[in-house]
Structure 1
């Protein structure tokens, strides 16, 4: 059966992406489903949940309610929860069963807003798309709902897409923040610093930086709507460490001749590829991802993978790689001389979240240097 996963675990779904990207915000997140979906969100797909008091409500509809579509009962529960729990807005997202019975979330939004003085964002997630689609949908909805025309431009930069599922952690944010703070008075990471007020004034920023593929279309929308300059990736801000002495290259000749495959989130892997080329002289580097691949920032030889079959096909066609860098679950497929572990929560869950490295600046360089020495 095509794309049947026999060795990999299930990837984080679109509703996990929504919950992950919103977990720090002062909102009531409502995940609508029959049962079980909340387990993946709270125990597998976000290692940063423990850092915030997330307000999440799971409807856990019964079989009778699912079959009969007893929406009024569920809407009553959501309205009451919105009254009992202090929040700035209500965020609705769905799962597979509501999709099968055709739940009308736009109607829910209208009914809830009539009964409670809170804005409602409704996202028709289904659980079949992957996490980055959910993140992207949430980012667009936040802008469409809250962002206002700028009163004035400020010396501010928005960093969008810095979620745990994309490989970001607190250490990496602070390392990047130190660099950006040298140029900007305000540095806002959308998965750490922003609430509804900051989203409302997003148009006043000088620059938006998309640090994951889920944010690429978002920074382009902000450019088209408000004229805000944007950048994709971190390369312009020294994600690779500068040469101390240009006459003394810091890479070995045999490193430059290696064939390397990077498997992970596209924007992050592009940053590692840039580092491999600039600091290690490796030219033959390709990127593969099980998630979105934006063609505008891809190179010839990059791969969008839809399942295990595609990954196995690449390994068979390309022959053995000198180095593969990716989630440890990919080790079982072989196809490498050296494998460097780079855990991705969206693939293997948060059980190995303690192993997620800081990949910004000198830390990314040290990670690659250690991996190539294996």
Structure 2
């Protein structure tokens, strides 16, 4: 019963995370399910669907098909769609029903490739894990099937790994990040997800990787091991953050000014790399001395600090807030119900948590106004020097 959520809705699931990776890449995405899971993705987890729908289909698995384990029905449906739409690839994603009956998703993908010679990805997502697990699996499978080592690196190039609307909504932070990278004298070779297969194949040619969500760290670690590409896992939000990323790209040791600290304890709840960026703002711009990060999603010790924590359930979050004596709590608006009146709550919607309930109020982490937004929410006068 520890995993029962009483106050929070279900977070975005693994098949939604995987579908978000394959979205807008020119392929056919098949969600193997009776009828509800695709609607969950297109209606609640994928904001791009409303203005730029892609080839995402439901298999509409029926009771008899599930009972008898007849996988030829799914295979024939996919082959028909391939003949009609000529996709650049096929991605088949599992959901709870095929997971429970033991459907061979990988085997079906192999049959699709053998029959059509179209690249096919079969991901054994289950609907029982969060979106970050689906993102991780999709990225690793793309690397395994498409990328090959290259001895020649294209100078002054980077890959952006892990940027999806489930974390960043349609905020334009991808363009802001690209602009910053270009200001450092580099160009983006590949955005994964984001680019099509022809570009993704060239990703091992990049000099460096920039990871913007913790779900993409396993891919970055694998690319470092196989292709010798170093990576940083961060966003250039604060002044010091920009300096650190520029130092990573240009290979020098940054000289960072010491932050003035004041008493105050804060908790940031959210995707780990985004939450780390918010922590930087609280420490560097608002002078908080003790800021912890907590997340329900992918958690890497390599980018964590002392006191950071991976949350296991909503009871865990409730206990952390009650015992942590935090002055400020930053997170999705649905987390506010766990706070008390003495604590200042700063609302920063996370699409993976509250979906379309609050995603129109998403606040860009890389915009010039983010620091000002924090000041206003914490009831401090915004200093002229930071405007």
Give the superposition deviation at 1:363: 3.3
Deviations 1:249-284 (A, max 9, x none): 998x8xx32211100000111111122222222111
Give the whole-Å Cα distance in 1 for the aligned partners of 2:335 and 2:229.
Answer: 39
Q: Does 1:279 align with 2:285?
A: yes
Alignment of 1:72 with 2:67, yes or no, is no
Of residues 300, 306, 313, the one that matches 2:306 is 300
Q: What is the alpha-carbon distance in structure 2 between the residues aligned to residue 29 and residue 51 of structure 1?
A: 18
Matches within 5 A, 1:1-374: 1-150=1-150, 152-154=152-154, 155-182=156-183, 183-186=185-188, 188-192=190-194, 194-235=195-236, 238=239, 240=241, 256-319=262-325, 321-335=326-340, 337-360=343-366, 362-373=368-379
| CA contact 2:171–2:362 (8 Å) conserved in 1 | no
- CA–CA distance in structure 2, aligned partners of residues 371 and 234 of structure 1: 22
Aligned equivalent of 1:246: none
CA RMSD of aligned residues (A): 2.2
Structure 1: how far apart are the matches of 2:52 and 2:24? Answer: 6
SS in 2 for 1:359: coil
1:158–1:209 contact (8 Å) kept in structure 2: yes
- Cα distance, 1:190 vs structure 2: 2.4
**Are the aligned partners of 2:190 and 2:203 in contact in 1 as well (CA < 8 Å)?**
no
Displacement of 1:147 after TM fit? Answer: 1.0
Q: Report how many residues are paired.
A: 364
Is 2:12–2:130's contact at 8 Å kept on the other side of the alignment?
Answer: yes
In structure 2, C-alpha distance between the alignment counterparts of 1:250 and 1:158, rounded to whole Å: 31
What is the distance in 1 between the residues matched to 2:346 and 2:240?
Answer: 19
- Rounded to whole Å, the distance in 2 between the matches of 1:362 and 1:187 is 26
* Cα distance change, pair 46–108 in 1 and its aligned pair in 2 (3 A): same
C-alpha deviation, 1:234, in angstroms? 2.3
Deviations 1:170-215 (A, max 9, x none): 42111111110122133543233x1101110000111101111001
Task: Note the alpha carbon deviations across 1:320-345, whole angstroms, 9 max, x for none.
Answer: x2111101111111245211111011
Contact 2:189 2:203 in 1 (8 A): no
Task: Classify 1:109/1:191 alpha carbon distance in 2 versus 1 (closer, same or farther; 3 Å).
Answer: closer
Deviation at 1:60, TM superposition (A): 1.2
Deviation, 1:317, is 1.7
CA–CA separation in structure 1 for the residues paired with 2:178 and 2:169 = 13
Q: CA deviation at 1:126?
A: 0.3
Distance 1:344 1:170, change over 3 A: closer
2: distance between equivalents of 1:42 and 1:330? 24
**SS where residue 293 of structure 1 aligns?**
coil
Does the CA-based 8 Å contact 1:44-1:350 persist in structure 2? yes
Cα gap change, 1:250 to 1:150, in 2 (>3 Å): closer
Shift in Å at residue 359 of structure 1? 0.5
**Structure 2 residues not aligned, in runs of 5+:** 244-257, 381-387
Higher-RCO chain (CA-CA 8 Å, sequence separation at least 6): 1
| Separation (CA, whole Å) in 2 of partners of 1:298 and 1:185 | 28
Q: Spell out, residue by residue over 1:228-247, the C-alpha distance to the aligned partner (whole angstroms, 9 max, x if none).
A: 121111259847578xxxxx
SS at match of 1:258: strand
CA distance in 2, matches of 1:204, 1:50: 35
Task: Pick closer, same or farther for the CA change 1:372–1:296 going to 2, 3 Å.
Answer: same
> Which digits, 9 at most, give the CA deviation of each residue in 1:137-158, with x for residues without a partner?
0111111111122262113211
Shift of 1:288: 0.7
Q: 2: distance between equivalents of 1:235 and 1:347?
A: 24
Rounded to whole Å, the distance in 2 between the matches of 1:171 and 1:236 is: 14
